Chains A and B, each alone.
Chain A
Amino acid sequence: MNAQLPEYVIDTDGLCLYYKDKPALDHLTLRVPRGGIHAFVGANGAGKSSLFRVLLGFEPASGGSARVLGHDCAHLPPSLRERIGFVNEEHTLPAWMRVQDLARMQQRQYARWNGARYDEVLRHFNVLPAQKVGQLSRGERAGLNLALALAQNPELLILDEPTLGLDVVAKQVFLDALLQATADDDATIVYCSHQMDEIERVADNLVILEHGRLRYMSGPDDFCERVQLWVAAFPDKAPDLWQLPGVLRVQAIDGLSHIVTFDQDESVGARLKLLGATSVQAMPLGLHRAVNAFLAHGHAGTRRAA
C-alpha cells in the first residue's frame, strides 16, 4: 500500500447527524479500509444514504468527525471530488443532453478519464451516443451512469442502491459490467443495497448499519459462520425462546421452532433440550437469511410478531 495514502478510505469518529431532533447517524465510528468491495446493508432509515451525504459534504455533521480519503468531509476540494465516484439509485442525469455530449462534458472535467473503460461498460447496454438521456430506459440510464462513474477512474466509488428498480436482466448486466470493469482495479467500492444476492456476489466486507449506528463489520463468510439456525421440536407449546442468549429471531414453522442465534456455540442445542425440545438440529444460514435475521432483531415490532 502506498505510504502516502491514508489507511482508511472512510474514517468516522462519533459521527452524528440529526434531521430536526431525529438522529440519522448516532455516534457512528466506522473505518473502511482501502481496497475491495464493501457492502453496506441496513433497513430503511439505518443511515446509509445519510452517511454518504455527510461523506460527500452534502450534509454537515451534527457532531463527531468524518474523513474520506483522508480529507475532512466538510471541506472537500474539487481535486478530491474527482477521486470519488458516486452512483445513486435514481441515476439522475440531465434528460435534455445527448449521451455523447454528456460523456464529452465529463471527459473534459475529469483528468483521469478512461474512455476505453467508458466504451467497455456502455457496450453492455443498448445505449446509442446520439440518444437523449431522457429517452433512455431506467436500466440504460443506470448503465450510462455506471459507465460515467467508472470512466472517472475513481479511487473510491460509492454505489447507493444502484440496481433499485431494475429488472432481473438489467440488474445482471449492471453487476457484470461493474465486476468486469473493476476486476483489475485497485479502487475501493462501497456498495449499498438491500439485495442480498448482489451482496453475496460482490462483497468482500460486510458493514451492517442500524438506527444510524454500526452494528457489524467483517467479511460475509465470517458473518455467516457466526449466525446459526436451530430447528427444535417441542411436544407441547414452545417455551419463551427469547430468553436464550444471542437470539436474533424466533419463528414457528410447520410446528417446529426456528431459532436464529448470533455468536453462540453448541451449548444452544443442550439448552433447547433442557427447555423440553424433543429434537434439535443446527444448520448454517445463507447470507441473505443471516442478514435478514440480524436486521429483523433490531426492527421495531419483530419480537411482538414472533
Chain B
Amino acid sequence: MLDFYLSELRRFRTGAAIYALANLVILTVLGQVTNLPGMPLEGHLMILILYALSGLGLALYQLGSYRQPSRWIWLQHRPLHRLHILAAIVLAAITLVALAVALPLFAFLAAQDHYSQHVIDSRYFLGAAWLALATFGAWLAGACIMLQRSRWAFLVLALPWVLALHEAAGSTLLALMLACDLVLLVLVATVFRPDRRVGHGAAATIANALPLQAGFYLGLLLAGSLAYQVALMLVGAHPNNSMQVAHGGYIEALRLEPHETMLAGLAASADPRAGAWRAALAPKTVLEIKPDVRKFAVRDFPSNLGWSTLTDGNTMWTFSHDRMMYRGLQPRTLADAGWLGVGGRGETGPFASQPQMLHRRDSLWLVDRHNVYAMQGRNGSPRHVLHIGTAEQVGGGFTAFGAHQLLLTNRRLLIVDAGAAPGAATSIPLPMAFGDLAHVQAAQVADGMLVSFLYGYRQNEGVAASPQVIYLVDRGGHATEVARRELAHDFPALFEHRDWWVSPALHALTRLPGLLVDNGAVPDDGASRFEPLMRARPPVVWIAAIVATLASSLGALWWTRRTRMTPRERAAWCLACLLLGVPALLSLVVLRPRAPVPAKAPATALTA
C-alpha cells in the first residue's frame, strides 16, 4: 500500500508543486487588491468552484487513466485487497490536496493575520479547512463519476449540494463536509472493484441508490420546473413575464402601488368606515416596509452575507466574529483604529449577532437579532434604540412613519413613538408566519393607522394561505382587524407543491439537513423547524403523489421481470419505488440494467 501511495505522489509531485505555488501567488496578489477573507459569499463561492473543479479534474484524470481496461487490470490484479489499493490512492489525493490547496490557504491567512490590519477571524481558518475538505470531496465525486459504469454517475454531485452547502457555523460546516466526504468515500469503495459494478449487497445498493435518487429528484424538479416555465414564457402566459396574471392574485398585489394594494384590501372590508378610509387614501400617503432582514449571519460562518464593513469618515470598520465587535482601520495609513462595540468606540461590549445595516434616507441603523442601534455622527458611535427581548428576533423594516418608527420582528409589528420608551410601543401580532410575509403597509386615516399585511412570499414553496389582512390601530394603540381577503394563486397547485408530490420521502430527506442546521434564518415565531415537511397539501397534490408512487412501483415490477434478481431483492425495489416514487424507479433502471436473454446453447466443439 505504501508503494502505491508513494507512486501516486511521485506521479503528481511536479503538478502539485506548481499548483501550490500558483495558488499562493494568486492568493497573495488578490490579498493586496481586496480583502479576500472578508469578501461576500458570492466571491467565496467562486473560489470554492475553482478549487472543487481542481479536485474534480484531478480525479477525472487520475482515475480516468486507470479506468482504461489494461491499466485497470494492472492496478487491480495483484495480491492486495482492493480497499488497500484504494486507500493508497485516496491518501495520495488527500496529501496532494493538503499540499496544493490547504497549505497555501493557511499560509496566506497566517500572513494576512500577521502582516496586515485585516480582520482575520478564526472562522476563516475553518473556512480554509472546509475548502480543502470540499476539494477532496470533489475529488471523491470525480472518482465516483469515473469509476461507476453509469453515465448518470454525475448525479452524485447532489450529495454535497444537499449535505454540505449551508450558511452555518464553521465547525458545523466542517462536520457536514467530513460526513459528506465519508459517504462519498463509501460510494467510491463500493465501485472500486475489478468489474466496477455496484455489488448486489443491500448496504452497497442503498449507499449507491440514495444519492442517485436524491440527484434524480433534484434533477427532475429543476428540469420539470424549467421546462414548464419556459413553455409558459413561449406562449406568453408566465405570470412573472406577462400582464395576464390571476385577478386578485399575489403577483397582481405586488405590482400595485402601495395605496392601490391597501384599497384592494379594504374593498373586502365589512367595516362601515371602510368607504371613508378608501376615500382618504391617496398616492404617496401609504408607507410600505418589507421584512428586509430574513437572515443573520451565523456566528463563525466562514464567509460573509455581503461586505461586513461599514465606513465612517476616515475609519473602515470590519466586523469580527471572534470578538463580535467591529475593528477599525484607517484606509489611508492602514493604522489600527481600535474596536467598536455596542457602547461605542473601545471594547464596549459584543453585539448579539453580526449586525445588518439598514440604510434609511440619510440615516444608518444597525440591527442584530434582538436590538436596534442608530449610527450617529462622524465618530460612528452606535446608540442603542430598542431591545425586543431574546424570545423574538428582528425582521427588518425599521422605518420612520410620521412621529412613529415601525419595526418588524418575527412575532409582531412594533410602532414606537419617537422619544417614548421602547416598552411603550404599540404591538400588532403578525397574523401569519413571518416567513410568508411579503410586505407591510401603513397609512394614517382619521380613525388611526391602517396597517396591511400581505402574505404569499412562499406560495411557490407550497404554502397555501396567502391573505391580505388589514388592521386599524386606534388612538389608544388597540389593533382591530378590519379587512381580510385571500389572494389567488398565480401558479397551479401541482407546480407550487412540485417538490413534495414528486417524492414526499425524498422531499423530506433532501430538506432535512437544511432544517437541522442553523443557517441564521429568522424563524417563524412558534413554528416547528420541521414545518416545511408538515404543510397541508391540496387533494390534487395528494392524488398526484399517489399516482406517481403507484406508477413507479408498477414500473419497477415490469422492469425487474428481465433482471437477474432474487424475489426478495425484486420486492425490495418495488417497495422502494412505492415509497420514493419516480426517482427510485430511475435509480433502479440505472443500477440494475436489464440483462439480455441468452440464446440456446450452440453445438459442441471439436476436441481431440
Q: Are A94 and B70 in touch, CB under 8 angstroms?
A: no
B599 x A216 contact (CB < 8 A): no
B77 CB within 8 Å of chain A = yes
Interface status of B595 (Cβ within 8 A of chain A): yes
Q: How far apart sit A90 and B69, CA to CA, in the bound complex (Å)?
A: 10
Q: Taking the complex as formed, is A35 at the interface, i.e. its CB lies under 8 A from any CB of chain B?
A: no
Instruction: Give every chain B residue within 8 A of A26 (Cβ-Cβ).
Output: 598-599, 602
User: B480 CB to closest chain A CB, in angstroms?
Assistant: 73
User: Chain A: how many interface residues by the 8 Å CB criterion?
Assistant: 48
For the complex, give the distance between the alpha carbons of A27 and B606 in Å.
15
Complex contact B606–A215 (CB within 8 A): yes
Set A81, A88, A219: member contacting B608, Cβ < 8 A: A219
Contact B194 A96 (CB under 8 A): no
Chain B nearest CB: distance from A151 CB in Å?
13
Q: Give Cα distance in the complex from A62 to B197, angstroms.
A: 13
A213 near B7 with CB under 8 A, answer no
B102, chain A: closest CB distance, angstroms: 24
Contact (A105, B607) CB under 8 Å given A57-B195, A63-B598, A93-B74: no
Distance of A57 Cα from B74 Cα, bound (Å): 13
B78 within 8 A of A: yes
* Mask: chain B, 65-89; 1 = CB below 8 Å from A; 0 = not: 0001111111011111100000000
Task: List the B side residues contacting A215 at CB < 8 Å.
Answer: 605-606
In the assembled complex, A200 has its CB within 8 A of some CB on chain B: no
Instruction: Check A92 against B601 for contact (C-beta < 8 Å).
Output: no
Contact partner, B79, options A63, A79, A93, Cβ 8 Å: A79
Of the candidates A23, A92, A217, A263, the one whose C-beta lies within 8 Å of that of B605 is: A217
| Interface status of B596 (Cβ within 8 A of chain A) | yes
A218 to B560, CA, bound (A): 43
By CB atoms of chain A within 10 A, which of B76, B79, B596 has the most? B79
Question: Is B323 interfacial (CB 8 A cutoff)?
Answer: no
Q: Which listed segment binds B: A106-114, A167-175, A267-275?
A: A106-114
- Chain B residues, Cβ within 8 Å of A214: 605
Q: C-beta contact mask, A202-235 vs B, less than 8 Å → 1, else 0?
A: 0000000000011111110010000000000000
- Beta-carbon nearest neighbor of A222 in chain B: B608
- Of residues 48 to 98 in A, which have CB atoms within 8 Å of B's CB atoms? 53, 56-60, 62-63, 76, 78-79, 81-82, 84, 86, 88-90, 92-94, 96-97
User: CA A63 – CA B7 in complex, angstroms?
Assistant: 38
> Beyond A97-B7, A216-B607, A219-B608, is A92–B71 a contact (Cβ under 8 Å)?
yes
Q: Min CB distance, B607 to chain A, in Å?
A: 5
Q: Among the listed A86, A217, A263, which residue makes an inter-chain contact with B73, where contact means beta carbons less than 8 Å apart?
A: A86
Q: In the complex, which residues 567-608 of chain B have their Cβ closer than 8 Å to any Cβ of chain A? A: 595-596, 598-599, 601-602, 604-608
Q: From A105, which residue of chain B is reached at the shortest CB distance?
A: B3
* Residues in A whose Cβ lies below 8 Å from that of B195: 57-60
85-136 of chain A: CB within 8 A of chain B: 86, 88-90, 92-94, 96-97, 101, 104-105, 108-111
Give B17 Cβ to nearest chain A Cβ, in Å: 15
A232 CA to B207 CA, complexed, in Å: 69
Q: Of the 9-residue stretches A13-21, A178-186, A253-261, which lies at the interface with chain B?
A: A13-21
Q: Which residue of B lies closest to A82 (CB)?
A: B79
In the bound assembly, the distance between CA atoms of A214 and B604 in angstroms comes to 8
Q: Is B359 an interface residue (CB 8 A)?
A: no
Q: How far is the CB of B195 from chain A (nearest CB, A)?
A: 5
- The residue of chain B having its C-beta at the shortest distance from the C-beta of A79 within the complex is B79
Q: A59-B195, A82-B79, A97-B10 are in contact. Are A88 and B598 (CB under 8 A)?
A: no
Closest A residue to B2 by beta carbon equals A108
Q: Are A111 and B79 in contact (CB under 8 A)?
A: yes
Q: Is B11 an interface residue (CB 8 A)?
A: yes
A94 near B11: Cβ-Cβ < 8 Å: yes
The residue in chain B whose Cβ has the minimal distance to the Cβ of A64 is B598
* Alpha-carbon separation in the docked complex, A63 to B69 (Å): 22
Q: Complex Cα distance A222/B606, Å?
A: 12
Alpha-carbon separation in the docked complex, A105 to B2 (Å): 9
**Interchain residue pairs with CB less than 8 A apart (8):** A58-B72, A78-B80, A82-B78, A109-B78, A109-B80, A215-B605, A216-B606, A218-B606
Q: Measuring CB to CB, which residues of chain A are less than 8 angstroms from any residue of chain B?
A: 14, 16, 18, 20-21, 23, 26-27, 29, 53, 56-60, 62-63, 76, 78-79, 81-82, 84, 86, 88-90, 92-94, 96-97, 101, 104-105, 108-111, 213-219, 222, 263
**Shortest 7 CB-CB distances between A and B: which pairs?**
A218-B608, A82-B79, A214-B605, A105-B3, A27-B601, A92-B70, A96-B11
Further contacts, 20 of them, CB under 8 A, given A62-B596, A86-B73, A94-B7: A27-B598, A27-B602, A56-B77, A56-B194, A58-B195, A63-B598, A81-B77, A84-B77, A86-B77, A89-B70, A92-B70, A92-B74, A96-B7, A96-B10, A101-B7, A110-B79, A213-B602, A217-B605, A218-B608, A219-B608
